Amino acid sequence: MGFRAWLAERFVTVDAIYGLILFAALIAAVSDEDSHPVEVLFLSVFSLVIFWGAHVYAGTIVNHVAKSPLHSAIWRAMKHSNGMLWASILPSIPLVLGAFHVLADDDAVDLALLIVTVQLGVLGFVALTQRGANVAVRIFGAIGSAIFGLIIIALNAAVH
């Protein structure tokens, strides 16, 4: 498997996009003026892992009901859902840098959310590229994906 195929299998998936939006919403929800990047990172990652576990559990039930052996159903669900975890890697980097005081606390959270927005735009661009859309459509799709992601992040953070 080539690098592009590896990336597409892990990052250009429904689960990766959902995980990315969820992770950003968790970051936005747990961060406030008094929170430290370590706290934001821990609570966001811990919550994301819980959601991932629920996703794996649901996938296991569906796959096992479809007559797959239990270990195969678990493995298939984990493989299918791992994009949720992969998507959190890049936005976690500024939070780790904030934990080591390389970035200011507020800057770490803001940069993490900016990375999510850019990542969503790139995913929109890549998805449209895979569909064979022309460059203008790809660019508008990328901008739309990023803006839609920001709206979802803001709404999710407001609810939490």
- pLDDT value, residue 142: 93
In a domain, 67, yes or no: no
Query: Which backbone phi and psi does 13 adopt, to 5 degrees?
Result: -135, 160
Closest CA to 119 of 10, 38, 6, 46: 10
In a domain, 137, yes or no: yes
Tell me how far CA of residue 35 lies from CA of 42, 94, 148, 155, in angstroms.
Answer: 11, 14, 26, 20
Range in 23-27, 81-85, 133-137, 153-157 the model is least confident about: 153-157
**pLDDT score of 160 more than 60:** no
The pTM of this model reads 0.83
pLDDT band at 11 (very low <50, low <70, confident <90, very high): low
In a domain, 125, yes or no: yes
Instruction: Count structural domains, the chain.
Output: 1
Give dist(CA 37, CA 97) in Å, integer.
Answer: 8
Give dist(CA 58, CA 43) in Å, integer.
Answer: 23
For 125, the domain range is: 3-43+83-159
> For 91-130, how does the pLDDT look when each residue is reduced to its tens digit (9 = 90+)?
999 999 999 999 998 899 989 999 999 999 998 898 888 8
Q: Please state the rounded mean pLDDT for residues 15-27.
A: 89
In a domain, 9, yes or no: yes
With b for 16 or more beta-carbon neighbours within 10 A and e for fewer, the 83-122 pattern comes to bbbbbbebbbebbebbbeeebebeebbebbbebbbebbbe
> For 30-89, how does the pLDDT look when each residue is reduced to its tens digit (9 = 90+)?
887 788 999 999 999 999 999 999 999 999 998 887 778 888 889 999 998 999 999 899
In a domain, 51, yes or no: no
